[in-house]
Structure 1
């Protein structure tokens, strides 16, 4: 098994795509350490994907693609600008607020980051803002899409953890909004030190806010439909995902009229491509997770953690360290599918609420998407800004500190994540 572990990390370090890392490592483990036939791989892939809830993924992806093509992103940014554009460092503030708004629609950190970057980076450059700090701030704000519902990461984690998707969606609302708020505070004080260029804000006027709100209202209806439908028992999370895609199509094509029906085949192909990539990772990671369980790794790790401490606090500290380390080198979905089956039984033994533990995992994953060397949101933001990853990473300190602060608060103050789920009757 040591050879397999060494091969696994070697493949990651040399930049092999994570889906091939998981598949190759699984086959290598089967051949060298067990008598199980390699045919089990296809069976485990099918088993890992054989879930009705996972059908939500392509629908949420489609909703995100529609959002990008249908002019929804621009309306959200315009509303954020009218709402908060009068504050010092206005473009930074708008980036944060717009990221929260798009997060409630797209469900994808990388899609959120790409959309905000494409709209805001030209404005940051034109008005003389620090583009590197702006890219770092947008990467962190965009990654919060994993925490704010509806989130693809939450859907996958809920399936693995066997917790309510509606409950997990609610658990992410307060931490996600608080994290955006802390990022806005950091942006404010950074801008105050930056000179007069950051004070070139537009005055706040109610008529402008009203016009922007009216235009953004149809887009804002999407998260209301999704969360309201799930919490009201109108439809399941999978059905909610399908409704969100159809809703996005309607407002993009017939309300905003930025979406041409002739472009629909290309959007469907893009959705299929993105969904297939996610599903392939889930399938291969399920094989790898099965091998880990078959090698008694959860039991061995559980015994070690219990030998170190029997307290929930110590377990959560260890879990955070493990997830932060893994998140630096591995794609979010793969990290969840490999680590959660190992740590979830231990968290149950320690008496950690499943919804609380799941939200801690989600926050770790969000941080993982902005930390080198495998920070997807960092890559996207840097690329759109036309800057190198290292140039943006140098300005990542304060925004990343805000995310670590929220991770610490959510870890040790469970009420932040559990207040809304318990209020709506969701138990862990």
Structure 2
């Protein structure tokens, strides 16, 4: 009965539009109150324990780094450099968007921060060049998802902490799939742009202009090497890397002199909102997962799938379709 309440209430709340963090928490609370599988105060202990982690400091710090880049002129320099090289090809601005979001995701680790930083620049630019509004927004929304996979990804940090998996290994595992996603998105965008005639009149930039754009963005482009190189080289941990990313982006923002002191409260507010949303999801998801574990649901599902007389790829396809369906509501 407990698992029925847990699953049905969670699905109903998602369909009704309840934020996923609250849906997880309310479903867990209802299950505990109606079945008394554990004391109610056990939920609060579990939620506190889930976020009481040193490694989770990387979440707000990487988000803050991305926000500083957005307001400090770093993201604009990334866009200018990308535009100089690929802005003239078919679907040039979508390609610039993909390149910009990829590099920015490597610096901030956050999908929402990436979308906020690149979208404010690229969506108006694409609309001015004749790209459709829906196409422009869709390109940015899908490109922002790269931040979930490509390192240093905040969801990968959370996953590593939750499952006690090496975060460095997860970063290495996410690099190639992230680049494959970017390439796949570009091919789809190129096909749509060619079909609809988008972006076919942008002039090719001269090599001198390309060199100037890269030179202006040189310190920003060096940031992924410093952050990721330090992690993979064993110089510092992902949590320490997040602090270095904040310091690096802050120094560049002061150097470029594009950020204003009056923007600091807004930058901190954005960081608190994004980080708080992530941490609340972690806290409530931990209670949901703990109840599932107490009910032995993961073990039952694993035994059921393992006993099916079908090839492994069918089981994998069913799991992927299930995750796709759930992901339609968890936005």
Q: CA deviation at 1:301?
A: 0.6
SS of residue matched to 1:193: helix
Q: Distance in 2 between matches of 1:52 and 1:88?
A: 46
Give, in angstroms, the shift of residue 283 of structure 1: 0.8
Is 1:251 paired with 2:243?
A: no
Q: Which residue of 1 aligns with 2:6?
A: 4
Q: Which residue among 35, 38, 62 is the counterpart of 1:36?
A: 38
TM-score by length of 2: 0.93
Q: Give the 3 Å change call, closer, same or farther, for CA 276–132 of structure 1 in structure 2.
A: closer
Kept after mapping to 2: 8 A contact 1:79/1:216: yes
Aligned residue runs from structure 1 range 25-424, under 5 A: 25-195=27-197, 198-254=199-255, 256-309=256-309, 312-330=312-330, 374=331
Q: Please give the root-mean-square deviation of Cα atoms over the aligned residues, in Å.
A: 1.8
The CA deviation at 1:235 is 0.8
- Distance apart, 1:310 and its partner CA: 7.7
User: What number of residue pairs does the alignment pair up?
Assistant: 329
Could you say what secondary structure the match of 1:37 adopts?
coil
Report the Cα distance in structure 2 between the residues aligned to 1:21 and 1:83, rounded to whole angstroms: 45
Q: Distance in 1 between matches of 2:273 and 2:186?
A: 35
- Give secondary structure in 2 for the equivalent of 1:23: helix
Paired with 1:35 and 1:132, the residues of 2 have a C-alpha distance of 47
Deviates more, 1:171-180 or 1:183-192: 183-192
When structure 1 is superposed on structure 2, of 210-219 and 123-132 the one drifting more is: 123-132
Conserved? CA contact 1:89–1:201, under 8 Å: no
Distance 1:10 1:162 in 2: 31
Supply the distance in 1 between the matched residues of 2:292 and 2:66 (Cα, whole angstroms). Answer: 33
* Cα separation, partners in 2 of 1:309 and 1:151, compared to 1, 3 Å: farther
User: Higher relative contact order by CA 8 Å / sep ≥ 6: 1 or 2?
Assistant: 2
Residues 60 and 241 of structure 1 are in contact (CA less than 8 Å); yes or no, is this contact kept in structure 2?
Answer: yes
Query: Does the CA contact (< 8 Å) of 2:65 and 2:249 recur in 1?
Result: yes
Residues of 2 paired with 1:5 and 1:140: CA distance?
28
Question: What TM-score results when the alignment is normalised by the length of structure 1?
Answer: 0.73
Determine the C-alpha separation between the residues in 2 that align with 1:143 and 1:273.
19
Q: CA deviation at 1:26?
A: 1.1
